[in-house]
Amino acid sequence: MDTEGLLSQRMHRLKSSAIRELLKHSKMENIISLAGGIPSDALFDFEGLNEATQLAITQQPKNAFQYGLTEGSEKLREGIVTLCAERGVIARADEIIVTAGSQQALDLVMRAVVDPGDVFVVERPTYLAALQTLQLAEANIMSVASDSDGMVVDELEELLKTQKIKGVYLVPTFGNPSGLTLSRARREQLVKLAHQHHFLIVEDDPYGELRFTDERNPTLSQLGKEAYGDAANIVYTSTFSKILAPGMRLGWLVLPQWLLHKVAIIKQAADLHSNSLSQTVAEYYLGLNRLPTQIAKIRAAYKAKCETLAGLMTQELGDYISFDMPKGGMFLWARFRSQVNTSVWLEQAIKQGVVFVPGEYFFSDNPDCSTLRLSFATATEEQMHEAVARLRRAL
Ligand SMILES: Cc1ncc(COP(=O)(O)O)c(C=O)c1O
């Protein structure tokens, strides 16, 4: 079949997700996966979800099965206002759009603000599927390094001396893949730079609630609003995926007024509105007031799992591999002390029956091939022991 010229140029430039390819291995028998970024379904609150679903179907069948507002159900947005307030994000319901997960939120925003060739800056390493949305929007993606305190904002400041930028995308709290958190000082520096140089910050915050300590940094969104009010050009996105259930495909955006209506127009073109049934279930779930207990449960479980994996890695592979201890989230980001290429090592690991994600996939440029991402969310303690023993054998 002659398909020459039928695909857009844009599609030729788009890379498929290496992680999705890798996940095929994780489904193979006897393979233990530390690769996927998926939450543990052993922790899902099925009882609460069941109750909320029953209520949605019996009490609000019309809302649950009818078309809805593009911006999302009013009641759910009210619930999200409260969730936001608890994490220091100041938002009114009319600043919120409910999306099909944060993934759609990123796609909509990038489409609304990026013209082909516009410079968008990401962290090195960064969330892979955000890179895909930037590639689809034909952004000129540039990157700055990160260290134990998150994105090196000084490097961004240097870049700004020679480069006009449209925006910065980052996961400032318990990042994917790095597990790192941007320090308070750097948060303030970044928000100030965005105001001075008139660029947009896209703050992606799926993991902020999954913290293992009581330490809590203000969101960029909060710092921006406190310092500059409505003039702060910060987009905040978060999701129900990591605190409730990813299959509901529910996330949200908090947007500056000038952007909100534009994003709503793109959402109309994409899917008219987010799934009504999921939204109604989420409304009832929030009404049941089970979310705080649920989040506390996930936090405690991931903290224990993180400590187990980190302990095993130090014990078995500490001579070869180093990492910063995550203070929340789902990922442990590690680096070989010597020049081991983790993509090559992965082939050995698969032969031994364990998978992880080689770090190089999370870089838009200058990949550090000696890095790797391990997820501690889904494997059981027993599986972790076996997985790390297999990793050691693979070495
Ligand atoms: C940093 C980051 N952003 C966004 C997403 C998308 O999540 P969802 O679309 O399920 O809300 C993920 C999912 O893993 C993520 O890690």
SS3 state of residue 171: coil
Pairwise CA distance, residues 90 & 254, whole Å? 9
Residue nearest to atom 16 of ligand 1 (CA): 176
The per-residue pLDDT of the chain, averaged, comes to 94
Contact between residue 278 and residue 133 where contact means Cβ atoms under 8 Å apart: no
Contact between residue 71 and residue 77 where contact means Cβ atoms under 8 Å apart: yes
- Domain boundary residue, one of 246, 265, 287: 287
Give pLDDT, residue 302.
Answer: 97
Does residue 189 sit in the same domain as residue 326?
no
Does residue 39 sit in the same domain as residue 88?
no
Does residue 265 sit in the same domain as residue 347?
no
Distance 388 CA to ligand 1 centre (A): 26
Does residue 237 sit in the same domain as residue 168?
yes
Which residues sit with their C-beta closer than 6 Å to ligand 1?
37, 101-103, 127, 171, 176, 204, 206, 239, 241, 246, 251
Does residue 50 fall inside a structural domain? Answer: no
| Residue closest to 171 by CA, chosen among 203, 133, 129, 134 | 203
Does residue 173 fall inside a structural domain? Answer: yes
pLDDT in tens, 118-165: 999 999 999 999 999 999 999 999 999 999 999 999 999 999 999 999
Distance 393 CA to ligand 1 centre (A): 32
Give pLDDT, residue 17.
Answer: 66
Distance 317 CA to ligand 1 centre (A): 29
Q: What is the pTM of this model?
A: 0.95
Question: Is the CA virtual torsion 87, 92, 98, 104 positive or negative?
Answer: negative
pLDDT in tens, 177-195: 999 999 999 999 999 999 9
Peptide bond into 177 cis (omega under 30): yes
Dihedral angle, C-alpha 210, 390, 310, 126, nearest 10 °: -50
Contact between residue 143 and residue 366 where contact means Cβ atoms under 8 Å apart: yes
Q: Tell me the CATH number at 151.
A: 3.40.640.10
Distance 171 CA to ligand 1 centre (A): 10
Does residue 28 sit in the same domain as residue 79?
no
Can you state the angle between helices 101-113 and 128-136, rounded to 10 degrees? 30
Does residue 107 sit in the same domain as residue 254?
yes
Provide the domain count of the chain: 2
Number of the ligand 1 atom closest to the C-alpha atom of 103: 9
Give pLDDT, residue 381.
Answer: 94
Does residue 198 sit in the same domain as residue 298?
no
Does residue 70 fall inside a structural domain? Answer: yes
Pairwise CA distance, residues 66 & 62, whole Å? 6
Does residue 178 fall inside a structural domain? Answer: yes
Give pLDDT, residue 14.
Answer: 74
Does residue 89 sit in the same domain as residue 159?
yes
Residue nearest to atom 14 of ligand 1 (CA): 37
Distance 206 CA to ligand 1 centre (A): 6
Give pLDDT, residue 83.
Answer: 97
- Domain boundary residue, one of 230, 261, 287: 287
**Which of the residues in the chain have pLDDT under 50?**
none
Does residue 308 sit in the same domain as residue 194?
no
Residue from 106, 239, 240, 249 whose mutation best tests the ligand 1 pocket (most atoms within 8 A of CB):
239
Q: Please give the residue range of the domain that contains residue 82.
A: 66-287
Does residue 222 sit in the same domain as residue 136?
yes
Does residue 217 sit in the same domain as residue 237?
yes
Give pLDDT, residue 37.
Answer: 85
Residue 109 burial by Cβ neighbours in a 10 Å radius (0-12, 13-18, 19+): buried
